[in-house]
Chain A
């Protein structure tokens, strides 16, 4: 007798603004579907149990740990990964999100493995707040507090959040 536990399903998603479709086993994690079925390897898996936050993506704009969600659960949703944070300018060039610029400017990453999870979480958090308001330390702590980084000691990640918030504030002014 052949043992097989896989029942396949077709999942339709909008990923980074592009309609995508993948036929995956029902048990496929969203993280694995993004990485291995859709080839978006920017989303990383650090602990497989929702603690480190490296796999965070935005599902309909909200940060979600993609290692704790099945791909079939997000059928029909809109997903943003780190690859989708930058936008295209009208010449087809790439305009980085302010938080991406800030991470580079403030040396907020070293090995870069946890970085995508921080970037999407912080980007969503900054997008959701009133950009005209100066960011408070409590807000900064809140935005970085749920993800693990083993390289930076977080000081420069916090600095990058302040930097990005200031950039967005200037943009809003």
Chain B
């Protein structure tokens, strides 16, 4: 029986340890380690006048205190700008510990190391830092107005003007039969994994090597950064991502100050040192995303077909730009979605504010782009009195138009060329799934119950699996065990299972024999990282190629032993056999033994490969030229460009006109990520994404006051959805395989979150007849909007009630 597990809902292999408390997360490592704690800035913008540590020195258990003055060499320089870009003309990054100035509440100023975390915090609170406060810039509009600036030498607060255009937009707008212009906002939220960040470092003074565990999405690059900043040779540094309790993008940023400072202290002190981020630290010193001001001008014809689109976005990137302008680029290029946009111009001005840095959070600029495009579709429909689905349908790229070139440049520096998809079919499935054409009956029914009901939809296309590459290594041991590794990391996506499914299917071995390791530089040193829904596409394909290499070699060796043609052999359940000839077979584990010619036998199996046991030709060396010992193969997948997944969401909301509570009563998802490795895991990703989309639309926001103090930096005040806030989700699938990669897969990790705000804004607007121009929206804000005399009424509501719009 052949083991074809690709595409099956295989139960996850990682769960056995995670449901019994045997997972190993960062804070589970290093029981005897010293603990680090940080003194962080209480001010959004200030000069540091003095740091007085005297009162801390007497704390029993204190081991060391570090300030900027203690940093040397590259550590004393600013943190790297990870992704430089020609349009990022004024990049700024912080220092591992503040160098004379702080630019957001939470910026690290002093690191304390002590015998345990309690003691480290005791010492930290006794350190007196004197600040001279400076004016704080908070929010995208304040940054734009630039009455104050974040960095003295950047008076307009603008780090980058990202600009792309596909034609001459102004004349195209001028000749358009209709035009509309509007401004809208998206607020800040954050990935907010249940496990914060954390770093553990162990220095072996005898062999001068450093082992670092960090809760990261990019262990190989953390390794390179540590080596560079601590002036170590790469071979002295190992970095391991243990079990990671969620990432959602925030852990792709690196090196975080703590990822350099904890190893620095471990080396200096000759002791293990660990830092585990607490929840408040995570709120004020990790990363947020999403805040944008969007100004949209669109031209369209009488049928609602777009003729030109001009978008100007102001993007709040916080105090620094370590991750470059990736989020602005993604907003700019993913905004166009599944639509034909004849002429498009986009400018994203990325601005500094005295707030936590903004780096990718699941979706990474796509939810904002989707919000801009889909709300534009709703506006066009409203202006023309057309069904919102009809307007979308008329603008869709047709299946015959693939590959479809948008003439834009994506986040990987490659062209935005959609590889495959069927957007009209997505839309049809969505309408059927949510009951789009029957909505008036539901509206009447809700009205009879005193509720306002509305429906909204949003479509998206998501560039997934960007390069440059990932690699995979597959090795069959003499025991029959198959070791698989890839450098890319895991934060709960089930890679141990899906990658094992791929190897099991490609190699023909029982999945129980396959062991997968991710994110460990000792096992696989070349990798990029886990972001942009790229793990299955990139490492999945690399591992498939590696498994195919092992298979080829196994067949070659087995063909010699079985005196058969490799083309007549197959591998099933870990046994190589001549097709149709039972008995003419050899176990793969024996092939593995034979693949490694031996002088020394160390066990029974090894005896078979020793020099007096093997019948070999005396004319050939034991290892054929060009070959290598061992049944293993390493391979890489490097795509020509990203592959584009797609989907469509629709939401039905019921709103109570007494309390203005917004109840999502139906949430429909149609999802296309090409070939699916494990449908159970993909569906789980969709569920989780939708929950974050709903959270971002209705509940979550980072509430900064005008002084740059984050008012809701706790789970008590930052409202992440509990089960009671997440609607039931109905899902339909479509599979248009990617022609770009061997497995035909597209990424699935982020999709669920992308259209949430757009679909829910559309639904709420449909229900209440008032224009929704800012998300998220709370019941209080909706109440205020309904009472506001200046709130814009939609034309649709006028038509429905017979009142002129």
Question: Are A and B interaction partners?
Answer: yes
Beta-carbon contact of A146 and B492 below 8 Å:
no
Taking the closest CB of chain A, its distance from the CB of B682, in whole angstroms, is 10
CB neighbours (8 Å) of A85 from chain B are: 20
Whether a CB of chain A sits under 8 angstroms from the CB of B14 is: yes
A144 to B116, CA, bound (A): 34
The winner among A35, A149, A155 for most chain B CB atoms within 10 A is: A155
Q: Helix, strand, loop or mixed for chain B's interface?
A: loop
- Interface 9-mer from B162-170, B189-197, B310-318, B650-658: B189-197
CA distance A41 to B268 in the complex (A): 28
- Could you give, for residues 700-728 of chain B, a 1 whenever the CB lies within 8 Å of some chain A CB and a 0 otherwise? 00000000000000111000101110101
Q: A62: CB under 8 A from chain B?
A: no
- Which residue of the partner chain, among B12, B14, B31, B715, contacts A51 with CB atoms under 8 Å? B715
Q: Which residue of A lies closest to B116 (CB)?
A: A36
A contact residues around B65 at 8 Å (CB)? none
B19 contacts A49, CB within 8 Å? no
Q: Is B18 an interface residue (CB 8 A)?
A: yes
Max chain A C-beta neighbours (<10 A), residue from B12, B491, B687 = B687
How many A residues are at the interface, by size bracket?
A: 35 or more
Interface string of A42-68 (1 = CB under 8 A from B): 111111110110100000000000000
A149 to B12, CA, bound (A): 18
Stretch at the interface among A71-79, A114-122, A127-135: A114-122
Indicate if A151 sits at the interface (CB-CB under 8 A).
yes
CB <8 Å contact, A156 and B21: no
Q: Report chain B residues within 8 Å CB of A13.
A: none
Cα of A116 to Cα of B28 in the assembled complex, Å: 14
Contacts of B126 in A (CB 8 A): 3
Does B729 touch A at the CB level, under 8 Å? yes
**Nearest chain A CB to B441's CB is how many angstroms away?**
25
* Nearest CB in chain A: distance from B124 CB, A: 13
B448 within 8 A of A: no
Q: Which residues of A contact B680 (CB under 8 A)?
A: 107
Bound CA–CA A2/B57 (angstroms): 9
Cα–Cα distance between A107 and B21 once the two chains are bound (Å)? 16
Contact A151 B726, CB 8 Å, known A113-B194, A115-B18, A119-B19? no
Minimum CB distance partner of A82 in chain B: B21
Given A44-B245, A48-B278, A110-B684, CB of A155 within 8 Å of CB of B726: yes
B279–A111 contact, CB under 8 A?
no
Q: Smallest CB-CB separation from B728: which chain A residue? A: A155
Residues of B within 8 A of A25 (CB): 118
Is residue B744 within 8 Å, beta carbon to beta carbon, of the partner chain?
Answer: no
Contact A2 B720 (CB under 8 A): no
| Chain A residues whose CB sits within 8 angstroms of the CB of B28 once the complex forms | 35, 41
Q: Is the CB of B724 within 8 A of A153?
A: no
C-alpha gap A36/B680 in the complex (Å) = 35
A141 at the interface (CB under 8 A from B): yes
Contacts A111-B491, A154-B723: A96 and B19 contacting too (C-beta < 8 A)? yes
A86 within 8 A of B: yes
Q: In the bound complex, do residue A145 and residue B21 qualify as a contact, i.e. CB atoms below 8 Å apart?
A: no
Which residue of chain B has the shortest Cβ distance to A45 in the bound complex? Answer: B27
* Total number of B residues with any Cβ neighbor in A under 8 Å: 62
CA distance A25 to B118 in the complex (A): 10
A52 and B714 contact, CB distance less than 8 A: no
Q: What residues of A have a CB within 8 angstroms of the CB of B414 in the complex?
A: none
Of B291-299, B416-424, B688-696, B732-740, the one touching chain A: B688-696
Q: Give the docked Cα–Cα distance between A30 and B14 (Å).
A: 27
In this assembly, does A39 line the interface, its C-beta being within 8 Å of a C-beta of chain B?
A: yes
B248 at the interface (CB under 8 A from A): yes
**Contact residues in B for A119 (Cβ distance below 8 Å):** 19
- CB-CB contacts of A3-29 with B at 8 A, as 1s and 0s? 111100000000000000000010110
Indicate if A1 sits at the interface (CB-CB under 8 A). Answer: yes
With known contacts A151-B246, A155-B726, A3–B60 Cβ distance under 8 A: yes
Q: Is the CB of B726 within 8 A of A154?
A: yes
Q: When chains A and B are docked, how far (Å) is the Cα of A159 from the Cα of B61?
A: 48
Instruction: Point out the residues of chain A lying under 8 angstroms from B407, CB to CB.
Output: none
Interface residues of B (CB under 8 A from A): 11-12, 14-16, 18-25, 27-28, 31, 58-61, 116, 118-119, 122, 126, 191-195, 243-246, 248, 278-279, 491-494, 680-681, 683-684, 687-692, 714-716, 720, 722-724, 726, 728-729, 752
Known contacts A46-B279, A111-B195; 16 additional CB pairs below 8 A are A5-B122, A41-B28, A45-B27, A46-B195, A46-B715, A96-B19, A104-B15, A109-B18, A110-B492, A110-B684, A113-B193, A116-B21, A144-B723, A148-B715, A148-B722, A150-B193
Can you name 13 A-B pairs with beta carbons within 8 Å?
A3-B126, A42-B21, A47-B279, A47-B714, A82-B20, A104-B11, A104-B12, A107-B11, A111-B246, A112-B23, A148-B194, A151-B688, A153-B689
